[in-house]
Each structure stands twice: as structure tokens, then as C-alpha cells.
A and B are shown apart, each in its own frame.
Chain A
Amino acid sequence: MQSTFKLIRRFIKILLLSVVGLFALNVVLFLALSSQGVSNAGGWEAAKNLGQELQETDAGFVLSKQGQEILKERHAWAILVEDGTGNVIWKSDHLPEEIPLHYSVAEISYYTRGYIADYPTTTASRGEDLMIVGHPKTMYWKHMTPTFDYALIAHVPQILLIFLCVNLVAVFFIYWISVGGVLRSVNPIVTGIEALPAGKDVYIQEKGLLSDLACAINRVSEKLMRQDRELKKKETARANWISGVSHDIRTPLSMVMGYAGQMEEDASLSEQNRKKAAIIRQQSTRIKNLVNDLNLASKLEYHMQPMHAQPVNLVAVARQCIVDYLNLDLNPQYTISCETGKEFSPCIIEGDKELIRRAINNLIDNSICHNPDGCTIVVSVAESNAGYQVSVEDNGVGVTEKELDILRNTPHYMMNDSGTREPRHGLGLLIVQQIVAAHGGSVTFSCGKAGGFRVQLQFPKLPEEKKSVQFPNTTWL
């Protein structure tokens, strides 16, 4: 709709500019034309000049050569009417026969304003007498009663303004009527096009001026919706397939893990066989973790993982993660400690406690997995202007700049559409990135201060107004 109003505003601007422009153009044209013409087409001037060119001599009146030239140029005739008697005391050559040679005062008044025998006249005084010049019948049109009300002349500015306003209103009305129909057809089209990027199902009635366009938009919408449905169907099928496989593999894997664990502790078996059983159990656990990770990663990727949003104290989650490892009788070559910027200060965000726990656990697992000879792991929670930061850092083998570059810039094979099957890094870090992204945060990989590997998770702070509010239970990631 906004674009329609923009369109209307643009039309009106063009219209106003056109009106003003046309008015200015006409004024200029008028001035240009009128400046080249002679006032009253020179008829009155000619009468005045003839009066001056007519000389009275002892032998009577004589018209000078210039006077004769004037009459010749204009194909005109002239008479001089005597004051008092009304008689014609001089007449030019070629005077038409129907021209009277005597005039009463009333006739003179009439002929001065109008015509003598349909010949348009112009007059000028010559002393007390009156010079009348008759012009060809088709030369002039005369307005015989040129009288204007003085009050009307005094109100000309207001009258012009009223004219202007009435004209503008009329123009807008005409514009509105003519454009209204177009707008009625355009509006649904514009609304439909605007709704298309939002993924909404669009239907525009296929009638009116732009029915072809409406029809095309409807077809585009249908196509987009069908593609969207198919994509979602594929994504759901893929996630469900992974979920199904992960489910179906659990029971057989239970058997493998169970019996391997039993054999591992069976004192009647040889040391070598017990070691083999331990390896089977350990590798089964790896498969179990891999299946779980694959399932979670695909659900996070396709927004099928439910998120139980609530206020979460990051310090509490970090402590819980560390304690979980310590309670599992962690190999003594690994030590895990917790560092918080300000003791007992809660760092509260809005999020899913279990998912954040999973992210931190993945990072601790990552440190343990890549440092088989042991390392010290520090989980720290700190506050910054941008939010809260959870860091998991070890002093182990660390990473090279090249490996860091791959971690930072190369998408995981699950996210990559280039067809490569090369796994850039484990699913664990991918899941960490997905979980943090779902919380509106970011992940930074870097070298640790003690030479190991450091991962920083940045979470946005919980808005003040939400700190005392209960959160809705479930949204979907």
C-alpha cells in the first residue's frame, strides 16, 4: 500500500508542476506575441497620423504624401467631419458611395464606437474637427461597449485566485475520477507483490484493468507456495529420517554397549579380552553420541527443535556442566575449573537451559577429545557491554592459524551445498554454533592465552523488563 501512496503523491506532484508550468509557459507566450504586435493593430494611430498629415490651405485641405501612403497601405478611406455642422469637409479618394457626408452628434458617437456601413472605424481629433478612418470590412472586430465595473477590477486578484482554486479542484476531480479506476486495479496487485517475499499465499481477483497481471501474480504465488511446501516436506523427511535412524539404532546399540560393558568387568575373561570389550564399549558410546549429535544438528538446522525459553543463569549452567564432569570421575589428567568475573553475580539471559548446557558440554568434550594427554580446562562467564560471554579454554595442543581459518570460514559439510563430503570439523562445534545462533548470539574461535584452544560464546542480555516476567514455555528453533 505504501508504494501506491507513493505513486499517488508522485502523480499529484507532476500534476501540480504541470499546471504551474503550463501557466508560466502561456504567460511567456502571450507576452512574447503581444510585444511584437502594434497596439490596437495601429488603426487609431493611423487616424491620429492622418489628422496631422492633412494640411488646410487656401485651396482647401491637402493630404501629404505620407498621409496618402498610410491610406494606401491600409486600403482605407478617411473623412473629416466639421465640428458643429456635422458636415464632411474633406474626404479621401476612393470613398465608398454608401458613406454619408453628414453626421449628427448621435451618429458620430455611434460610428466612433462601431462601424459606418460595416466598415470598422477609428477616429482622431484634428483641432475641433473629427478625423474618421474607415478600414476594410474584414480588418477589425470592434467591441462596442467596453465598460467594466470598477468594483470588479478592484477584486481582480481575488477573482483570479478563485478561478485558480476552482480550476485546481476541477483538475484534481478529473484526475481522481480518471486515476481512481487504475488505482483500484493496481492496489491489490501491489499488496499481492508485497506479500510474496513474506511467503504468504497470495490470491488476487482476476478481473478489471490489470487482470492479466493479477493472473500472473497468482500463478507465481502458487508456484512459490508449492516449492515452499516441497522444500519443507524434504526438510521434514530428512530430519525425520535422521530421527528415525537414530531411534532405530538405539536398541541394538544398547545391546552392544550393555554386553561390552558387562564383558569389560568380567573377571573371568583375560585382560586382553576385557580391553577389547572396553574398546567396543567406548566406540559404541561414540556412535551413540554421533547419532545424538546428528539428530540434534538436523533438528536445529530445520527448526524442528523445541526451545523452552526461560530466564537462564549462565553462571549456574557453567557450574552445573563442570560438576557433571567432576561427578563422572573425570580422568585426573584433566582439570576443569570455573571462573566468574564477579562472584555470585547471576548472568541471566533468555534461553533454553538444556541446549546451552549441551553447547558448553560439547566444548568441554572437544577439549578432552583433542587433548588425549590431558589439559586444564577453564570455563568462564563474564559480562560485557554487548551481553554475556561464556568462554571454554584449554591449555592443550591448540590449533594452527590454518585450522582456525577453516573453522571460522568453511561451512560444515551438513551446511555445505558444494557436494563435498569432507568433514571440516565434528558435529559438536556445529551444534554449538546452531544453539548460540538460536539464542541470538555468536561464536568466536581463537587461540587460548596458554596456547590451547578457546571458544567464546556471546549471548545477548535479558532485557530489564523481562527479568521479572515468566516466559512462554515453548517456541521452535
Chain B
Amino acid sequence: MKIVGHTFAWTLRFILIIVSVFVEIATIHAQEKSKSPANDAIAQLYAGAKKEGTVVIWGPTDAIIYQKAQAVLDKQYPGIKIEHFESIPEPLVQRIIAESQAGKPSAVDIIQSGSLRALRPLIDRDMLSVYPGWEKNFGLDAVYAGDRFVGAYNLTLPISYNSKLVSAKDVPKSWEELTDPKWKGRKLIIEARLVPFAMLGTEWGKSKSTELVKKILTQEPIIAQGGTTVAKALAGGQVSIAVGTYAYTIEGLKKAGATVDWMPVTPLPVLTSAFGVLKTAPHPNAARFFAGWMGSTEGQKIRYETSGQAIEVGKNAIGNVADRLKASRPTIILETEKNFAAIFEIQRELGRLLGALR
């Protein structure tokens, strides 16, 4: 018994030594890491941001998200006040251009939009600053247009369905199945701007997606404006199938008790919401720091827990939409600066089917 007790004491001592060594190594590693050039750069950026004291952001994000972000920011990175103006980007972009042309640059640091394409006029006019630090220092991969944008969140555009009205085996597994006669007669709702079909056209070619839309229109679908209206119609049982609402919206409705779900069909269009910092930003350091922080896992978590929105593709992806995409592995058509001109051209063609003249 004595021998056993002795051995046990020595084993315990040995384990304690090993643990202490690991703790020491981890501490040294963490200290090393905190001294890394990336962290130094972030610390420097934060110091500049703190000096500026404020970040002014214009975009469509729900104000509640930034209220929660402010609370976390105050604890971890005090000294930066978020001033947020909630609006859709299109009028904001026009205002920024008009004010800039009048020689009175808008008092805004960050412009954000629900889709990257809406900010194209600012790229065309070279009004956004370049910041490689988002990728280099913050380690973010959702960076676009030559480091002019950093991803805020994604909007995945799947085929959604009302699980009370459609059994799992009947749910369309491909875009072409939307033309099945069983969906004829107000059983299908599509969003009027036809974005998913325009994005599919970048993969398939314009003529194939145009033909698909033409066929779908013969199904007498309901055509509604806005993803929320589409989701609402689906949750309320007005239609069985919906195209043009977002996967995160459907997840939110599911959580609230609605009998809805979505199908990660392939290829799957995914929009990119991004932050861009204006060249004329009054608080450039605060803007770059805040955009990087909101794009990081920490910022993502605040956004995701508040609204369900998150980066859904790439290495920084989080949340249940991202999990389902990882599991089902559809071919993703991600909106980037490389394809938004093509999306625009196809969308214009499709718009003519619904009454656009140009």
C-alpha cells in the first residue's frame, strides 16, 4: 500500500510538472503572438482609432447590432463611439457622390451595403481607400476589390419551402425543378429583382438562366419586392416554395416556430455584404479598425447572435447556415468584384421580362 501511495505521489508530481511546462510554453507562445507584427499593427491601429474617438457608419444594418457591438467594444477596446445611420445604400451612395462633387465630402467613414454591387459607383469613382491590413493583420479572407472592401456578412439565396405544405421528398433539389407543373398557379414566390437567377447566369451563361426564368414565369408565380415580403409569404403559408429570400431569414423564422426550411441546391448564389472605408473618412483609423473587428470572429458573433447574419462562406464563416453549407458542399457562386458586372448585365436582361425598358 505504501509503494502504491509513493508511486501515486510521484505520478502526480510528474503530471504537475508536465502541465506547468505546457502552461509556460502556452504563455510564452501567447506573449510571442501578442508581440507579432500583426498584433502590433492592430494595436497601433486601435491607438489611432482611440485618438479619433468615433466611427461613422452608413448602411442597412439593424441599429440593435451596433448597440450590442458598442457594449462589447466599450469593454475590450474602449474609446471608440459608433455613430450609425441606418439606410439602404443606394441613396447614400448618391448622396456621397453629390456631396463629394460639391466639394463637401460626406462626414462618413464607412459605407456598408447588403450587396457588393451597390457600392460599384464608389469604386468607379475611386472614392474608397485601400487597406491590406484586413487580410494581413486581422487574418480575414473575405476581402474584395483590391483591399477596398472587407466582408460584413453573406446572404445565401437558396430555394426555401414551407415544410407544412411540401414534404421533404417533393422539395425541388435543383433550380430546374422549379419548372415542374406541380408548382404552377401561385404556389411559388420569387423576388422581383431576380438576383439568384442573374447570379446563376454567371455560372450557366445568360441564355440558360433567361430561359429558366421565362419558364418559371409561365408557372404563374407570385412576384414580390424584398426578401422579407417573400419570407413572410412563405411562413404564412401563402406559397409552398420561395426564391429570393435569405437562408439566415429562414433559419430565424424556423427558430421562431415557422414551418419553413431551405434547400442548399447547387450551384448556390451567395451575396456579399461589405464595409468600405471612404478616402475622405474623417476617422480613417477608427473605420479600418472597426470594419476589421466586425469582420473578425468576435464581431461576427455579435452580429450572428443578434440577427442571425454572419459570414457564411470562407475560413471566417460561422453559424448554422455556414454549418449546413459545409455539410452539403454545394458549388457556391459568391458575389465578388470579379462577377458583379456580369450579374448586372444578366439582371438587366431578366428585368425586361418584368417590365424594365432598358
A and B bind: no
Interface residues of B (CB under 8 A from A): none
